Structure 1
C-alpha cells in the first residue's frame, strides 16, 4: 500500500517491475506546482500505480488522463483513481504504447504533465517530441520528467524549453515549458 495526500491508501503493484515515485518527490512536485493543480487538466504518462494522478485528483485537479502500457498497472491505476475521484472530477485512462497513445490527445492541451518512464527506456526523446508536436501543453503549462542523474543529459526538443531541474536524493526532475514565441 502507498499513502498519498490526505492519508489515502492506494493499491500498488507487487514486485519490482514498477518503481513508484517516492513520497519526497511527490510532495516536492506538488509544492512546486501548488498554484497550478486546482481545476487543472493533468496528464500522467507511464502511470504505474496511478499515484501521481490520484494525488492530483485529491488536490483538486478537474481532469486526469493517463497512459499505461502494463495491463496490471492499468487495472490498479483505474481502481485507485475511481477510489479518490470526486463526482465533479473526470478521469480517463488509455492502455498501450505511450508514444502511439499520445495521438489520441491531439488538440487537448494540459496544464501539468508528469512523465515517469522506466529509467532505462528509450522513451524520453520520442515522448517529449510528441508532446511538443501535438501541442499537448497549455501556453503556461509544464511537463515534469522524472529521471536518474546518471542517465540524463538535458534533451533539446523543438517547441519545448528546459526551464529548471531539481534533484531529491537519487531522483531528478527536469521541467519543460512551451518555447516562448519569437517576435
Structure 2
C-alpha cells in the first residue's frame, strides 16, 4: 500500500499492522500552519506508525527527524521512506520500542523544536504519555497532538499549555507550547 506526501512523492505504508496514517488533508493543513517554521528544526514523530508526518517534516526542511514506533516491520518501512525523502544535510533516526518505556527512562537525544504525537486513538496513551513529553521539548517548543475530534484533551499538562485547536472532520490537532525548563 502507498500514499503521497508533499511534492507528490510516493511512500510505502505498513500493511496489516493497524497503523493509521495521518490523513493527507490534516498533514497539508499542519504544514500550512507551520509554513516557514520547520526548516532547520529538530522534529520528533512519536508513535509514528507509517512515518508520514516525519517524512513531511523532512520534505519541509527539518534538519533532524526522530521517530518512535513499536512495530519492527513499520520501522523498516519508515527508514526506507525517510531515506527516500531526506536531502543532504538532513538526518533521521528511527527508534523501535514502546513509547511509554522509552520516554520513562529518557531518550538521550537533544531536545526537539516540535513533537508530533499521534498514538492509536483507542490505545489509552494520551494520559500516560503527555506528562512525559515536556523534557523532550526545547523551552518554547511545540507539541502537536493528533486525536479524535470527539476526544477532549486538557488545556494544560505540566509545563505544556494548549494555545490552538483545529478540527478536520473526525481528526483534530491540539497545539501546546512548552513554557518551562523541565529537563
TM-score, with structure 1 as normaliser: 0.91
Task: Give 1:1-183 correspondences, 5 Å limit.
Answer: 1-15=2-16, 17-102=18-103, 103-106=105-108, 108-132=110-134, 135-154=135-154, 156-179=156-179
The structural deviation recorded for 1:104 is: 4.0
Q: 1:107 to 1:19 in 2, by over 3 A?
A: closer
Instruction: In structure 1, list runs of 5 or more residues that go unmatched.
Output: none
In 1, the alpha carbon distance for the partners of 2:44 and 2:180 equals: 21
In 1, the alpha carbon distance for the partners of 2:180 and 2:47 equals: 27
Query: What is the aligned-residue RMSD (CA, Å)?
Result: 1.7
Q: 1:141 to 1:170 in 2, by over 3 A?
A: same
Runs of 4+ in 1 over 3 A off after TM superposition: none
The answer (yes or no) to whether the contact 1:70–1:96 under 8 Å persists in 2 is: yes
SS at match of 1:161: strand
Query: How many residues are matched?
Result: 179
1:38-58: per-residue Cα shift (whole Å, max 9, x none)? 000000001111111111111
Instruction: In structure 2, list runs of 5 or more residues that go unmatched.
Output: none
The structural deviation recorded for 1:139 is: 1.9
The structural deviation recorded for 1:66 is: 0.6
TM-score, with structure 2 as normaliser: 0.91
The structural deviation recorded for 1:35 is: 2.5
